[in-house]
Structure 1
């Protein structure tokens, strides 16, 4: 009786010509084969296929990441430690992200400093502000993993662009949402959606019309903000294994989305063939998403229904108590609804969620509560450090006996 050949050997045999192209370095190829050959002890075919694909994707990503030579090793060590779920980085977000590995973050969610809206967010003019934001968005594109999402909350403001005039009459509604959408797309992202955050009654005193009930003096109050959704689809010509049989014997197909390369399995012995004898069609994105359609990842129906509307009513965060004190410390916190939406809709447990403008660390807190690794970058340590950290600890500390279980790590790169 002939022993049945381990299925991993079949995968390697059928994939070997393509593995040599993917891993042109012989030592790297040998390292990969030796790693997946450990699957010989497994007997479950699906488990073997899934493990082979995961290992292959990891190796390909490592090779891509190694092309970027500007990483901050101290920062990378800090981020890759597995003993905590909350990581606070004090520093300039552009400098910090420049020290991070490429495609090492699974989701980004943030609300940037608005142009000249706060004492800590002052620019000479609108062009300088947008130029600075462009550099940050460009670096965010490199750091965000491929086929992942950036959720970006921003509000249009009423101010002077300080480019051609600085007079009061030069004030106008500055459509930051539109400007940012243009910048994101120019830097490689794909604009997907725009939820309008209905903030209800406006508390701001800005651009009220005074006591002049005349034409040309009337302006609407700003009672909404944008929740912009951007996808990153870096064009990747790397051949990926068929999710059904695990083999790399696949042919390139059309782009199913902008920047999403698709493939068709050409292994005639694949476990899934169409009536016309066509192979499985897939992409790296579909491997990531369709491979995790399991009960443990199901999003609550009520939560999905809430976000099926394009206008979402969310009450602004109340930060001032009856004594006139700012109980959150930060002057512009945003509600947990936004990071909760982003994290539930566009990430999986134990993945890394980054907020480049940490502020009061709302995104980090929400990520931790949803079993993700929350990473927050904040520049204004002197202004908000103590109050933001206090808010972070209070928000995560469910009870007295949970205090020792809160694992918060900090690194100061200022």
Structure 2
């Protein structure tokens, strides 16, 4: 308190003109003021400021989310229900995401079905495949929270695009990584990085030269894939409170990055002013990324060091045993190192992590083990449902979870 005055009153007094701009609907403004009223009893400035900012951001997000009218109420209730943090959605990922609230997912990590590479991923031609993927990426942009990350693993394949010919001679290296990068950027994402996953010796027999040691028969074995990193920065002109004093008396600066509006505090009573009497400069992204920069959430140095290089050696998941049997059930299992990287680097505990092509649920398992809410969407329940669920249960029962009864929430949209 300042002069026995609750600090929240100071914030409201300075911010009220700007609160009226953000919440022009008077009942909504009253609802917000009522929501922060409990802060009158708080005496620690930091607690008051952090709580005010969090409530304000949540109100702004709710108003933005309410603009989208196509949610599936049952699905939203399922996702928002408090449980053990494992949520499985059986169904088409495009349909499922269209039923979700806007900007309700904090991280996305997946590996899509590769064009005509598996029995469950067949398209007439490459253009049909890419257009289907575009629809999914467009919807992913809507459901992913602003200033968050999508980690997308895809490999360049050797196949026929079936656009001009379907013969064997029409096979070529198809640069899916490049095509997907273009689609992501066209749908609003910002390309950040491309880690090359060195798969080493692989089990695949594809791309061999059919024992012909002659020119034009030589194709490399597919021993690498892309781990593409994309940011979502939806352009947002909403005024946000200064993270130092909590007040909304701020002026907008230029966009520091594409889609990232920066602000400068103009409250001359702010606790942090430069020698030139300039106010704190910040953005919503900086509030999100810096608010929990404490030792508790620090990433292990060795883990950071491993991912400093843009060529990463990860052994592929061995699914075929010596007798030629698929011991995992799924034909394209996902190495846990990739979702582990995504979850540790781009999320905090309790964040919602979505894999729209969940497969054997590796991303869901990893998210759960790291204290996040793992959400997986999988279409092929008839083909992989039993084996994937067994993998999920067995993995979660190991280690930290061996003493607990595993609760897995499921919803069927098929």
Q: Report the CA distance between 1:334 and its aligned residue.
A: 1.1
Runs of 4+ in 1 over 6 A off after TM superposition: none
> Over residues 94-137 of structure 1, what are the superposed CA-to-partner deviations in whole Å (9 max), with x where a residue is unaligned?
00000000000000000000000000000000000000000000
Residues of 2 paired with 1:202 and 1:320: CA distance?
Answer: 11
Q: Report the CA distance between 1:403 and its aligned residue.
A: 6.2
After TM superposition, list the pairs within 5 Å mapping 1:270-349 onto structure 2: 270-349=270-349
Residues of 2 paired with 1:285 and 1:10: CA distance?
Answer: 25
> Over residues 348-368 of structure 1, what are the superposed CA-to-partner deviations in whole Å (9 max), with x where a residue is unaligned?
001100000000000000000
2:373 corresponding residue in structure 1: 373
Residues of 1 paired with 2:374 and 2:291: CA distance?
Answer: 24
Whether the 8 Å contact between 2:181 and 2:191 is mirrored in structure 1 is yes
Residues of 2 paired with 1:365 and 1:396: CA distance?
Answer: 7
1:123 corresponding residue in structure 2: 123
1:77 corresponding residue in structure 2: 77
Residues of 2 paired with 1:405 and 1:269: CA distance?
Answer: 53
Residues of 1 paired with 2:284 and 2:214: CA distance?
Answer: 59
Whether the 8 Å contact between 2:137 and 2:187 is mirrored in structure 1 is yes
Residues of 2 paired with 1:400 and 1:152: CA distance?
Answer: 28
1:142 corresponding residue in structure 2: 142
Which secondary structure does the structure 2 equivalent of 1:162 belong to? coil
Q: Report the CA distance between 1:202 and its aligned residue.
A: 2.6
Q: Report the CA distance between 1:398 and its aligned residue.
A: 2.2
Residues of 1 paired with 2:401 and 2:199: CA distance?
Answer: 37
Compute the RMSD of aligned alpha carbons: 1.2
2:179 corresponding residue in structure 1: 179
Residues of 2 paired with 1:150 and 1:69: CA distance?
Answer: 24
Residues of 2 paired with 1:160 and 1:348: CA distance?
Answer: 42
2:98 corresponding residue in structure 1: 98
1:164 aligns with 2:144: no
Residues of 1 paired with 2:314 and 2:404: CA distance?
Answer: 33
Residues of 1 paired with 2:124 and 2:34: CA distance?
Answer: 57
Residues of 1 paired with 2:88 and 2:44: CA distance?
Answer: 41
Which secondary structure does the structure 1 equivalent of 2:152 belong to? strand
> Over residues 258-307 of structure 1, what are the superposed CA-to-partner deviations in whole Å (9 max), with x where a residue is unaligned?
11000000000000000010000000000011111101110000000000
Q: Report the CA distance between 1:221 and its aligned residue.
A: 1.5
1:236 corresponding residue in structure 2: 236
> Over residues 187-221 of structure 1, what are the superposed CA-to-partner deviations in whole Å (9 max), with x where a residue is unaligned?
00000000000000132111211222222222122
After TM superposition, list the pairs within 5 Å mapping 1:37-76 onto structure 2: 37-76=37-76
Q: Report the CA distance between 1:325 and its aligned residue.
A: 2.4
After TM superposition, list the pairs within 5 Å mapping 1:372-411 onto structure 2: 372-398=372-398, 402=402, 404-411=404-411
> Over residues 1-55 of structure 1, what are the superposed CA-to-partner deviations in whole Å (9 max), with x where a residue is unaligned?
x951100000000000000000011000000011111100000001000000000
Residues of 2 paired with 1:166 and 1:3: CA distance?
Answer: 80
Which secondary structure does the structure 2 equivalent of 1:79 belong to? helix
Change (3 A) 1:35 1:400: closer
Of 258-267 and 212-221, the range deviating more from structure 2 = 212-221
Which secondary structure does the structure 1 equivalent of 2:36 belong to? helix
> Over residues 152-177 of structure 1, what are the superposed CA-to-partner deviations in whole Å (9 max), with x where a residue is unaligned?
00000000000011111110000000
Aligned residues: 413
Change (3 A) 1:401 1:31: closer
TM-score by length of 1: 0.98
Which secondary structure does the structure 1 equivalent of 2:76 belong to? helix
Residues of 1 paired with 2:353 and 2:42: CA distance?
Answer: 33
Residues of 2 paired with 1:345 and 1:401: CA distance?
Answer: 23
Residues of 1 paired with 2:112 and 2:400: CA distance?
Answer: 34
> Over residues 382-408 of structure 1, what are the superposed CA-to-partner deviations in whole Å (9 max), with x where a residue is unaligned?
000000000000000027984653121
> Over residues 320-349 of structure 1, what are the superposed CA-to-partner deviations in whole Å (9 max), with x where a residue is unaligned?
233432221110011000000000000000
Residues of 1 paired with 2:303 and 2:404: CA distance?
Answer: 32
Which secondary structure does the structure 1 equivalent of 2:128 belong to? helix
Residues of 2 paired with 1:149 and 1:276: CA distance?
Answer: 36
Residues of 2 paired with 1:234 and 1:206: CA distance?
Answer: 41
Residues of 2 paired with 1:251 and 1:82: CA distance?
Answer: 39
Which secondary structure does the structure 2 equivalent of 1:309 belong to? coil
Whether the 8 Å contact between 2:110 and 2:363 is mirrored in structure 1 is yes
